[in-house]
Structures are given as C-alpha cells and as structure tokens.
Structure 1
Amino acid sequence: MSSTDYQSGREALGGRLRELRAGAGLQGKELAERLGWQRSKVSRLELGKQTATASDLEAWALALDAPGEVADLHSRLRGLDSQQRSWRRQLARGHRAVQDRYVVEYRRTSTVRGYEATVIPGLFQTPDYARHLILLNAELMQSPRDTDEAVNARMRRQEVLYEGDKTFRILVWEGALHALIGPAEVMAGQLDRLIGLPQISLGIVPLGAPLTLSPKHGFWIFDEEQVVVETINTELTLESTEDITLYGRAWDRLEESAVHGQQARRLTGRARASLDLN
C-alpha cells in the first residue's frame, strides 16, 4: 500500500476511535486516565499519527463499555495491512519479474480458486495468446519489452497444473472466450487448449445465465489466506478475514451460475466455431 493510502486508512481509524470516545461522553484526558495511558497517546491515535495495535483497540472499546466494537476496529486495522502494488513500478524493468513471482506463489499454494471476466487465465494460456496479451499490456503501461522472457516465465507457472498435490477451481466469464486477444488463429489455438485441459475444475459462467452477482473484476484466492485482485494500474493483495470471506462468497455465487464438463466444452467450442479463420 502506498504511504498516502496507509495514512488515509490510519486517519480513518483514528476518526472512528474519536467517534466512539465522544459518543461515550468522555474527554480525551478522561479516557487516558481509564486506560492508564499518556494523554498524548490518545491524541496520536485519534489523529492518525500513531498506528494502534490490536490490544490498543480492544482496550479502547472495553474502556468505553463497547465490546461489540472490537471486531470492527480489528477489521479496520487489518485493512491497513492490505498491499497495493503499482503496475508502473512493478513493470519498470519489464514483465518477467512479475511472472517469476507468480511462479513462486503458485508453487507454494495448495488450493486456488480463481475467476476471470475478460481474459483466459494465465494458467491456461498458450504462448501465442500470452505473447499478444503481454505486448498489449506493455504498450498500455509503456514498460520495457522483455516479452520472450515473460512468456517463458508464464509457461513455467503452468507446470503446477500437473502437480498432484494441488487443487485448482477456476471460473471464466463466457465473454472472455470471445475477446480477440490477437488474430483469430491465436484465439483458435487458445480455445483448443481450453478444450483439451487436464482434469481441472474449469467452469464457464454463460452470458445468459441467471446471476446473483454481477461479473465484476477477476480475483484469485490462495489457500483461503489471501486474495489477489488486479486492476488496470495496481495489484491488490488482501489478507483480512473479512475480505477473504467476502471474495469467497462472491466466488461461490459465480460458481452457482457456472457450467462445467461437457457444457463448458460446448460453450468453448461454440466460441471457436464463431472465429473467422479464412
């Protein structure tokens, strides 16, 4: 997370602490006396000039006879630990370093739940599809071109698909099957790859399926311990219990609308048949 975002979050937490104190009808000095703290500590926490610890927040709530606020305060504190990485900074020397990091991440993960709304997931990409996607991204971000190295690293990531101790449950919005990343021949090869995947749980969310959640953006849940979300300019890593639970619930709702097996292959085949290969 950038220093500005972190400070904004810390100030927001301080504002909530101040609201709770004022709501209890206490002055800062009175609360400090109850807690056995220096008055300056209460002030620093409320102004966002000091980061509270989990025990600080619990003591604060209990001193105000508001134990029901502890969970919310802890959640706000964990939110400060969310990591936000700028793509511009990550790609300053090219794309390979990012791909290498993903290789490590997937190798140390046992269970992955993922969802993509606009592209075929990197785990399933052909080299040609990956190459066009990386080139498009490099042009957008105006980053150095290390395309061959980045593609090779992305292909190394796919080795985890054949490791027997891992579980992959992946969902793809049907629109991604029709998004032309490169020429029709590239898309044809990519869709053939999807149809011939090894025994992996791949679900397609059909365009006409009843939904209990809009498709939104892609996200990946690793071992139910962290969620990675990619936007145009940043990569977010979320680790709070609340965030992981929320994204898990979103994945479950999308999975309810997905089709698998032969039905998924039929949708993929239909997308391939729609390509103009002449």
Structure 2
Amino acid sequence: MPSSPSSSAQAAREALAARLQHLRRDAGLTGKELSDQCGWHPAKTTRIQRAKITPSDADIRAWCAACNADNQVPDLIATARAVDSMYLEWRRLHSDGMKRVQEDWYMLHQQAGMCRTYVSNVVPGFFQTPAYATALMQSITDFQGTPNDVTDAVAARIARSRFLYEGVHRFVVLLEEWVLRSRIGGPETMAGQLRHLLTVMPLPSVSLGIIPFTAQRAVWPLEAFYAFDDRILVETLTAEINVAQPRELADYRKAFAALSEMAVYGDQARTLISSAIDALN
C-alpha cells in the first residue's frame, strides 16, 4: 500500500510497526535473524519496521512464529486490516466497477442520523440527478480505466436520495459556488441538476449553504469530506481516506464550523443557484 497523505493512516501504520519491532526485540532477534526465520529478504523486515509497507496476514503469522508470540496474531492481523482500510485507492475500490462502492455509501447513509458534507468539486451524490451522475461517473471510469458499470452504479448512487425523504436522517451540506458553475455533462444536464438543488432545499431534512466566490476566506477551499456522526471520509483524486486520529477529526469539525459561517442560505443561496442556471443560457 502506498504511503498515505493522511497522518491518521500513517500514524496507525507506525504504531503497528512499533508493536512488531517490540516483539522482535523481546524475542532477542536481530532484523536479519528474524528475516532468515521468516524466509524473506532483510529489506522487507526493514520496510515493515519503518512503516513503509503494511504486512499481510501471512507476514504477521510468520513474524509472530519467529518471535514465539502466536497469541498476538489475531490482534495484530485485525490492526493491520484496520490500517489498510484507512487509505483505499479508488482504482482498487473500483477494480470491479463502481456499483459496490455506491452500495457501501448507501449503507453509511442508512445507518447515520447526521451527515455533514463539504464539497468543493461536484454536487454530493445524494443530491445528484441521474443525468448528472451518469456524466460524472462516466468521466471517472474513463479517467481511472476501471470496468464500466456506470448504469448500475448510477442506480445505486441515486438510491441514496430516498433518505432525504424517509426516516430521521439529516443532511447539512456546504457547497463552494464554483460547484454550481462547473459543468458536468451538457448545459441541459447541468440546468437539471441546479433546478434539482432548488427542489431539495426546502426539505426538512436538508440544510444547504453555498460559499460565494466573494466570501472572505476564514478557511481555504478544501478537499471534499463527509462526516457521518463520528466518522469522517475524505475524497482525494486517488483515494478515499478514513480519518481516525482524534486531532484530525477535531480539525475537520473546526473547519466545517468555520466554512458554515462563510456560507449563505435561504434566498441568498437560491439567488446564486438561479444565477448559475441563467449563466448556462
């Protein structure tokens, strides 16, 4: 797994590496001795201990066997899998198409009472129209070169919108004004998407704020992130990052609060959306 830009993932990987290193030292083994017993090159031991790679299940079993610490295997494997899930490359997630990931997001929304969302790139999935979602997901599939299941993936994504109308779910969304002006699909697709935003704004489950171009920036434009109750997911160009470190969780919450103060709501937000629709003509 490549080095993650998220300090949460890297900190967790380093903690796992430290535990393995302590096991080796407690067993009185040098790095070369452990490598010989595990049957791999000493460079691999070095990379694991420096948190450059996350060990596989088989690596952990071999390491613990060499250190006479088989009782540590279940916990270490669970820890390694948790680390691996913090940083997930899109190409890996989309290796069999996009539908499965959309179904996972459906479950997240189904289970969460509150979803706080900040987007600086595209309209969030639960607000998307089928035409907008199709244009967006087709471009992502083409860029990544992953299997094309866009039709099924779009259906799975649009299914999330039911939670806008059902149950006690709450969606607090912040959009940069640039999202309204960035054309995904043709003018008709974009106009339909913007009109849909006007439709969902009055829903009791929705709070939609738009950060104008002219807003005095207390927080610079950030990567898109989604806060589900006490869990935060960040979307970068190449990966989905699960933020787990308490300090980082606090930073994202602080950023969301500051971004909320920069946004406009109600009639002012509707004016910005209507202006974007007019600009398409």
Instruction: Provide the TM-score with structure 2 as the length reference.
Output: 0.73
State whether residues 121 and 179 of structure 2, in contact with CA within 8 Å, keep that contact through their aligned partners in structure 1.
yes
Look up the SS of the partner of 1:170 in the other structure.
strand
200, 213, 220: which one pairs with 2:219? 213
Structure 1 CA distance, aligned partners of 2:164 and 2:192? 19
Structure 2 regions of 5+ residues with no counterpart?
A: 31-45, 52-81
How many angstroms does 1:40 deviate by?
2.8
In the alignment, the residues of structure 2 paired with residue 14 and residue 153 of structure 1 have an alpha-carbon distance, to the nearest angstrom, of 36
Q: Which one-letter code corresponds to 1:215 in the other structure?
A: P
CA distance in 2, matches of 1:132, 1:180: 10
Output the CA distance in 1 between the equivalents of 2:28 and 2:14: 15
- CA shift in 2, pair 1:43/1:221, >3 Å: farther
Aligned to 1:54: none
Query: What is the TM-score when the length of structure 1 is the normalising length?
Result: 0.73
Note the alpha carbon deviations across 1:204-242, whole angstroms, 9 max, x for none: 00010111110121101110x211011111100112322
Q: What are the residue-to-residue correspondences of 1:11-22 with 2, within 5 Å?
A: none
Q: Which deviations, in whole Å up to 9, do the C-alpha atoms of 1:10-46 show, x marking residues without a partner?
A: 68559999xxxxxxxxxxxxxx9xxxx99637999xx
Cα shift readout 1:35-78 (whole Å, capped 9, x = no counterpart): xx99637999xx87499xxxxxxxxxxxxxxxxxxxxxxxxxxx
Pick aligned residue for 1:182 from 177, 180, 185: 185
Give the deviation of 1:106 after TM superposition. 0.5
Q: Is the Cα contact below 8 Å between 1:221 and 1:244 reproduced in 2?
A: no
Matched, 1:234 2:239: yes
Q: Distance in 2 between matches of 1:90 and 1:156?
A: 20
Q: Is the 8 A contact 1:103 1:156 kept in 2?
A: yes
Distance 1:49 1:148 in 2: 44
When residues 206 and 50 of structure 1 are mapped into structure 2, their CA distance, relative to the original with a 3 A threshold, is: closer
RMSD: 3.1
Contact 2:210 2:265 in 1 (8 A): yes
* Aligned residue pairs, count: 228
Partner of 2:275: 270
Question: What is the CA-CA distance between 1:264 and the residue it aligns to?
Answer: 0.6
Q: 2:257 aligns with which of 238, 243, 252?
A: 252
- Structure 1 residue runs of 5 or longer lacking an equivalent are 18-31, 52-78
Give the whole-Å Cα distance in 1 for the aligned partners of 2:25 and 2:93: 42
- Number of the residue aligned with 2:55: none
